């Protein structure tokens, strides 16, 4: 049984008032994961920028 299946099985047994809290938590996780990905991309930018700004890079991409 997959984690998704187990979660769905557990959800079947929860009362409605707890489902609201689960929904809030799931949305938090989705937002947090998305924020983490954004932060990683932003932190990588300064490191990658060293290569992006080389004349060789410009030359390699000029035909696109």
What is the residue range of 21's domain? 3-61
pLDDT tens for residues 5-63? 999 999 999 999 899 999 988 888 888 777 777 677 667 777 777 776 778 877 887 87
* Domain count for the chain: 1
Whole-angstrom Cα distance, residue 39 to residue 17? 34
Handedness of CA 19, 21, 22, 23 (dihedral sign): positive
Name every residue whose Cβ is closer than 8 Å to that of residue 9 and which is 6 or more positions away in sequence: 1
Full-model pTM? 0.49
């Amino acid at each position: 049984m997959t984690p998704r299946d187990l979660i769905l099985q557990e959800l079947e047994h929860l009362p409605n008032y707890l489902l609201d809290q689960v929904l809030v938590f799931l949305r938090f996780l989705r937002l947090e994961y998305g924020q983490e990905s954004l932060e990683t991309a932003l932190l990588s930018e300064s490191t990658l920028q060293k290569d992006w700004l080389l004349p060789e890079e410009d030359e390699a991409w000029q035909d696109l």
